[in-house]
């Protein structure tokens, strides 16, 4: 009942009809950050957070309702997907035109979409968008972008919120142009006798629906993708954080079970290999059976289950990740950046990890994870890595900021890091902080 009430309140707050006027908004404080209004988000030294668009205590206007993913078109132009609402066809794709020192111009490019989330440039130069039950492409430079929309992949599960726990579509292009597409798990733990096959397995993940999996749609070579997919890997509850390293490594950051415990279960970072099963709904953490599947304890410890490459903090809810290759922050070169969207005390951060040649974070002998109000907390068991957090101060401060809820990440051509925050309705630009540079030169002692 408590979880149902919480979900209802969140849904009401995200509704375009009920804007939740009492919700905290960001204050704009201090000198500009790279030409953009400075937000009171505490960052690593030498970095600052600039407001591109979104409501603040000074201006409550919210031009984009639920911004999710970002794609840069040129130095001054970006596309942003907007869920619009968690029901109906109220999603959109927006074009932002921005220059330092000027208010961003916001233009709706596509509307009437059903939960658009992922956006990427395809091998043909067109822009691809993951919408409910399909992936389509379009030309944002066309006189009528809507007329250029062409469905590329169809027949994805037509999920519904509450009827399906993980309704959003995410995709990435593999080397060679094949499409790798996530299909989220319809439930939290596939619990109950009705969810089991005659062999005692989860019908959702092992049945014909191929849920909780990653699918590969082969590129046919004529600008199209075959509708005949193959399942690359199974047992993946929700694969919204999905990335392909230049070495060819495919990483997936798992949003794990919704246990009531604040400290369990851990999220996962998985190295995806063909034919592997990564545990959902049978296993949690490194090799523990999930509460709904106590009889799978031996299976979770066996070679049939591919354990996580690393554990991630509990309820962090990783929603995007990429490797930083920009010039603005040399200390971040090659590191894996990850957005943590979770609403509990671990979420609301952008984290970074040192990686090996495959792009996989390097485990620590005594790993820890950050918790608002508690500093760092030790992991219990299993491989993990201590992150460097780019946004150590994005927790709730009344009258100053809400807790951060970062979703999409992108590195701009100039090396700045762009992020969306869907709960606050923000697009944020993290850039080099000229004030910090002046401090270090002795020009602005504090």
pTM of the model: 0.92
How far is residue 182's CA from residue 201's CA, in Å, rounded to a whole number? 21
Residue 14 pLDDT exceeds 50 = no
Model confidence over 37-52: pLDDT tens digits? Answer: 999 999 999 999 999 9
Q: What is the mean pLDDT of residues 275-298?
A: 96
Nearest to 431 by CA among 416, 411, 419: 416
pLDDT single digits (tens) 377-425: 999 878 999 999 999 999 999 999 999 999 999 999 999 999 999 999 9
* pLDDT per residue as tens digits for the range 127-172: 999 998 899 999 999 999 999 999 999 988 776 655 667 888 899 9
| E-state strands within 330-380 | 336-340, 349-353, 368-371, 375-378
Tell me if 162 sits within 8 A of 199, measured CB to CB: no
Q: CA-to-CA distance for 364 and 223, rounded, in angstroms?
A: 44
Q: With 0-12 CB in 10 A as exposed, 13-18 as middle and 19+ as buried, what is 161?
A: middle
The dihedral region occupied by 161, where left means phi > 0, alpha psi between -120 and 50, and beta the remainder, is beta
Report the sign of the C-alpha dihedral through residues 351, 356, 361, 364, in that order. Answer: negative
Structural contact between residues 231 and 272, judged by C-beta atoms closer than 8 angstroms: no
Mean pLDDT of 197-218: 91
The predicted pLDDT at position 18 comes to 36
Task: Tell whether the model's pLDDT for residue 442 goes beyond 80.
Answer: no
Q: How far is CA 361 from CA 81, 93, 167, 235, in A?
A: 29, 33, 28, 21
Assess whether pLDDT exceeds 50 at residue 374: yes
pLDDT value, residue 163: 63
Residue 17: the pLDDT is: 35
Q: Mean pLDDT, to the nearest integer, of 181-199?
A: 90
- Mean pLDDT computed over 364-386: 94
Residue 28 has pLDDT above 60, yes or no: yes
Note the helical H segments in 217-332.
297-300
Q: Which two tokens stand for residue 275?
A: 């034919």
Place of tokens 């062999």: 199
Beta bridge partners of 308: none
Average pLDDT over residues 79-90: 94
């Amino acid at each position: 009942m408590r979880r149902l009430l919480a979900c209802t309140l969140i849904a009401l707050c995200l509704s375009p009809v009920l804007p939740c006027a009492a919700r905290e908004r960001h204050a704009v404080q201090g000198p500009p950050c790279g030409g953009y209004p400075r937000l009171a988000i505490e960052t690593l030294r030498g970095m600052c957070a600039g407001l591109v668009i979104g409501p603040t205590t000074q201006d409550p206007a919210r031009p984009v309702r639920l911004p999710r993913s970002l794609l840069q078109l040129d130095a001054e132009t970006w596309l942003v997907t907007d869920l619009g609402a968690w029901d109906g066809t109220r999603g959109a794709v927006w074009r932002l035109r921005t220059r330092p020192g000027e208010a961003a111009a916001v233009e709706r490019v596509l509307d009437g979409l059903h939960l658009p989330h992922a956006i990427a440039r395809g091998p043909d130069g067109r822009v691809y968008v993951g919408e409910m039950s399909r992936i389509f492409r379009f030309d944002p430079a066309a006189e009528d972008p809507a007329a250029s929309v062409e469905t590329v992949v169809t027949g994805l599960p037509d999920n519904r919120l509450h009827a399906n726990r993980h309704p959003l579509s995410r995709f990435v292009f593999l080397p060679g142009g094949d499409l790798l597409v996530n299909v989220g798990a319809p439930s939290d733990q596939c619990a109950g006798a009705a969810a089991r096959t005659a062999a005692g397995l989860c019908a959702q993940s092992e049945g014909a629906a191929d849920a909780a999996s990653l699918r590969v749609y082969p590129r046919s070579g004529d600008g199209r993708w075959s509708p005949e997919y193959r399942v690359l890997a199974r047992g993946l509850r929700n694969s919204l954080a999905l990335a392909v390293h230049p070495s060819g490594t495919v990483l997936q950051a798992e949003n794990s079970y919704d246990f009531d415990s604040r400290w369990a279960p851990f999220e996962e970072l998985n190295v995806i290999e063909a034919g592997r099963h990564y545990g959902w709904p049978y296993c949690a953490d490194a090799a523990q059976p999930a509460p709904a599947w106590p009889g799978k304890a031996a299976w979770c410890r066996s070679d049939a289950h591919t354990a996580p490459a690393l554990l991630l903090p509990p309820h962090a809810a990783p929603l995007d990740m990429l490797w930083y290759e920009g010039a603005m922050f040399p200390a971040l070169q090659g590191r894996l950046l990850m957005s943590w969207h979770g609403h509990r005390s671990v979420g609301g951060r952008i984290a970074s990890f040192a990686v090996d040649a495959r792009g996989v974070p390097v485990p620590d002998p005594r790993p820890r994870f950050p918790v608002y109000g508690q500093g760092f907390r030790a992991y219990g068991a299993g491989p993990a890595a201590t992150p460097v957090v780019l946004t150590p101060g994005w927790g709730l401060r009344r009258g100053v900021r809400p807790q951060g809820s970062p979703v999409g990440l992108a590195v701009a051509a100039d090396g700045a890091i762009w992020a969306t925050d869907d709960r606050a309705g923000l697009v944020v630009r993290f850039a080099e902080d000229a004030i910090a540079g002046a401090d270090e030169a002795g020009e602005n002692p504090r």
